Amino acid sequence: MKKQTYLFLIGGIFSLIIAMGIGRFAYTPILPLMQKDLSFSNTVAGYIASSNYAGYLLGAILAGAIPLKQFRTISLRICLIVNILTTAIMGLTHSHFLWYVLRFLSGVSSAYVLVLASGIVLDKLAAINKTSWSGLFYGGVGLGICLSSLFIPSLNHLYQWEGTWTGLAVVSGILAFFVWIWLDETPNVVEMKNKQEIFAQVPPTKWLIWLIIAYGLEGLGYIVTGTFIVSIAETTSSFHKGATLVWMMVGLAAIPSCLIWSLLARKWGFVKSLVLAMALQALGMVMPAFWISETSFIISALLFGATFMGITTLATTLGRQMNPSNSSRTIGTLTAIFAIGQLIGPILAGVLSSFTHNFNTALIGASCVVLIGAGMLLNGIQFERKSKGLLSENNYEV
């Protein structure tokens, strides 16, 4: 049983590598390669990115609104196939319109995979009292980013940017085989005692609106760095052709980040950990606007990588614990508001950069938005303090 649990978790990790680490985020390091060859503007690049995030928004809304409790595994497999195909076809056309369509469909499938896989895996972990393992699961995004960063330079050297998309799709297809055989949903039974303990450690359900708004602001701000950090580094004299290193640093920092933030959340509380993570992310995002060097970009990448998936882990796990009876809908709502923010972000950043001929204004604005989101969460710390006191009293009585 223990071996099956580990394989189940690995299957979940692989699903995030495919749909998020590659299907969604590979565009960031491939973008400067495409721009160099085809010479399209940052505005067009922003539209391509936002088409993906528009699809991501639709997918998140549908995944949260349409009840798929009994069909999650089958739906997940279909979405993985769509995601892999859209990644492969990106390298077979030079049409901007087809790119918009492909990235849109990729976004829909990515959101579905994230919501469905999160629901399946988090429910399973809760059933076996291993909620803290959620950090390992979400680490799959960082692992996917890191793996794609390792493959992209070689694939680009051999087959140009077109072959890079197709090559990553082949890697995704191999991983999908293991997702197919390992990530198989089984009925979960959570003891009432465990549910009561979970409720005692988080803010009340009515506070969920603050988490939703703050998570939306996070989506609006973080995506500017998440989309353009490699392109920004590519334009500086510090990197030349080695800007993919920046994205690799993001991935390396992201791999352990989810587990670390999960452990910190158990010690400090989810809300306090979210505030800290968003503050650190804002610092990392704004750094290249004031300090341009190889060191600043690496520090920025490490801070960004260490926080962006950690924030997703904290927000989705907290949301699920606040409403465990309908985890997919709660995660879908959070993902949808996040997607609205990240749909707007690249368009604004692309237009601003084309107007100002740099990304400084966009980076500063994005950093401020994330900080505002962190500030909106501060009123939730009081509930964690009260609930910890209540939990201690209950433990003392037992």
The whole-number pLDDT of residue 192 equals 39
Residue 373 or residue 291, greater confidence: 373
240 Ramachandran zone, left/alpha/beta (phi>0; psi -120 to 50):
left
CA angle 389, 393, 396 (to 5 degrees): 140
- Range with lowest mean pLDDT among 12-21, 287-296, 388-397: 388-397
Rounded alpha-carbon distances, angstroms, from residue 7 to 10, 14, 74, 81, 145: 5, 10, 18, 20, 21
The residue type of 349 is A
The whole-number pLDDT of residue 189 equals 46
Give the residue carrying structure tokens 């452990």.
Answer: 263
Q: Locate 79 and state its tokens.
A: 């979405």
340 vs 217: CA distance, rounded Å: 9
The whole-number pLDDT of residue 67 equals 59
Task: Say if residues 353 and 167 touch (Cβ distance below 8 Å).
Answer: no
What is the helix (H) or strand (E) element at residue 258, kind and residue range?
Answer: helix 244-268
Average confidence (pLDDT) over 321-338 = 76
Name residues whose C-beta falls within 8 Å of residue 259's C-beta, 6 or more positions apart in sequence.
Answer: 132, 135, 136, 139
The whole-number pLDDT of residue 198 equals 43
Q: Does residue 397 have a pLDDT over 80? A: no
Percentage of the chain modeled with pLDDT above 70: 87
Residue 60 or residue 348, greater confidence: 348
The whole-number pLDDT of residue 102 equals 96
The whole-number pLDDT of residue 322 equals 77
Q: Locate 39 and state its tokens.
A: 């010479």
Q: Does residue 107 have a pLDDT over 60? A: yes
Name residues whose C-beta falls within 8 Å of residue 171's C-beta, 6 or more positions apart in sequence.
Answer: 22, 147, 151
The C-alpha R_g of the chain, in whole angstroms, comes to: 20
- Range with lowest mean pLDDT among 24-28, 59-63, 191-195: 191-195
Confidence class for position 190, pLDDT limits 50, 70, 90: very low
Q: Does residue 385 have a pLDDT over 50? A: yes
Q: Locate 5 and state its tokens.
A: 């649990």
Average confidence (pLDDT) over 199-215 = 77
What is the helix (H) or strand (E) element at residue 324, kind and residue range?
Answer: none
The whole-number pLDDT of residue 214 equals 94
Q: Does residue 167 have a pLDDT over 90? A: yes
Task: Say if residues 301 and 280 touch (Cβ distance below 8 Å).
Answer: no
Average confidence (pLDDT) over 209-229 = 90
Q: Does residue 333 have a pLDDT over 60? A: yes
Confidence class for position 328, pLDDT limits 50, 70, 90: low
Q: Locate 38 and state its tokens.
A: 């085809």
Q: Does residue 168 have a pLDDT over 50? A: yes
The whole-number pLDDT of residue 241 equals 63
The residue type of 266 is R
Average confidence (pLDDT) over 59-65 = 77
Task: Say if residues 239 and 251 touch (Cβ distance below 8 Å).
Answer: no
Rounded alpha-carbon distances, angstroms, from residue 199 to 115, 308, 342: 22, 26, 30
Distance of CA 289 to the CA centre of its chain: 23
Residue 291 or residue 397, greater confidence: 291
CA angle 60, 66, 71 (to 5 degrees): 100
**Closest by alpha carbon to 258, among 146, 145, 135?**
135
Q: Does residue 205 have a pLDDT over 70? A: yes
The whole-number pLDDT of residue 286 equals 92
25 by DSSP, 3-state: which?
A: coil
170-184 pLDDT per residue, tens: 999 999 999 999 987
Task: Say if residues 83 and 106 touch (Cβ distance below 8 Å).
Answer: yes
